[in-house]
Amino acid sequence: MKEQEKFIGWHIMWWLVGLGCIPVTFPWILYHLFDIMKQKRRKAKLAGKVVMITGASSGLGEAMAHIFYSSGCRLILASRRKEELERVKSVLMNKHPTVPTHPPIVLPLDITDLNSIPPEIEKVLKIYGKIDVLINNAGISYRGEVINTNVDVDIKLMLCNYFGQIAVSKAVLPSMIEQQSGHLVYISSVQGKIALPHRSAYSASKHALQAWCDSARAELADHNIDITVVSPGYINTALSLNALTGSGQNYGVMDKATAQGLPPEYVAEEVLKALLRKTSELTVSTFTPKVAIYLRTVFPSLYFWIMRKRANKEIKDKQS
């Protein structure tokens, strides 16, 4: 009898809790259903849009190529590695038949060669006449101590992650301003918002990119040009393998955090959603980096203390 009364009591309690949640849950469900329908309509409008992706030969860039190609976009795949771009193009055309079919354009491009960028962009504009969406994804990472890092390494990081990105953007922007529409997407990093020990050159380059985007967003708004900055946490790609050390050599190690990072396919989906919603900023990460961003803003002293502890631990781990 007591067990039955207990069961009835729990049942009534959960019923009351559920009843109390209806005023919140029902509007929440309606909002998300409406958002899904709105995204579907916007995604349908992507068909035929010209989308250029830098760093498209692997990792997140390749994942985004799949997302946008399957949406019917006309892709421009840019990277230094032409052979890998051809591979991505072949996989896309075999895996995602689109109607009508738009074979991706392969554009070998080294964004650190700043003077070569305008003529290469001009080649694409002669083919399509426009670029509707530019996704600046190319970049390199870094692992090293401030005191042992050659200035040349700092320059390389800034050249690729900052100067190269804005050089591509400035080559594309005149055509967007002329057509009075366009969308610039920048794949930054959580480290563009908070700096970590042994990532100084990388964090600095991403901070610079973030600041440029904030200024450009305001200046370009009247030309109907949107800017979206996506700040991912760790992604399971080869970024750490290809990272530079303080001496300029390849790091060549798959970090544990990188290996356990978010799947690039998931991040690519989030980039698409941000673009469709015209989101100005999006942080795609687990809970911890978001807490760190909050602490850096609200309790900077606590954040600095935590980072000091982290730096000491990394040095001890390296020595042991």
Catalytic residues: 202
Whether the Cβ atoms of residue 226 and residue 184 lie closer than 8 Å to each other? yes
Q: How far apart are CA 285 and CA 299, in angstroms?
A: 20
Q: Which helix (H) or strand (E) holds 267?
A: helix 264-277
144: its two tokens: 């090293």
Closest CA to 192 of 269, 274, 283, 270: 283
Neighbours of 32 (CB within 10 A): 10
State how beta strands 133-136 and 50-54 pair. Answer: parallel
State how beta strands 133-136 and 142-143 pair. Answer: unpaired
* Cα 39 off chain centre by: 19
CA dihedral 61, 63, 69, 75 (to 10 degrees): 10
Distances (CA, A) of 83 to 39, 69, 297: 34, 19, 44
Percent of the chain as helix, strand, coil, to the nearest 5: 60, 15, 25
123: its two tokens: 């080649």
Strands (E), 14-103: 50-54, 74-79
Whether the Cβ atoms of residue 59 and residue 238 lie closer than 8 Å to each other? yes
Q: Tell me the residue length of the chain.
A: 320
Q: Which helix (H) or strand (E) holds 281?
A: strand 281-284
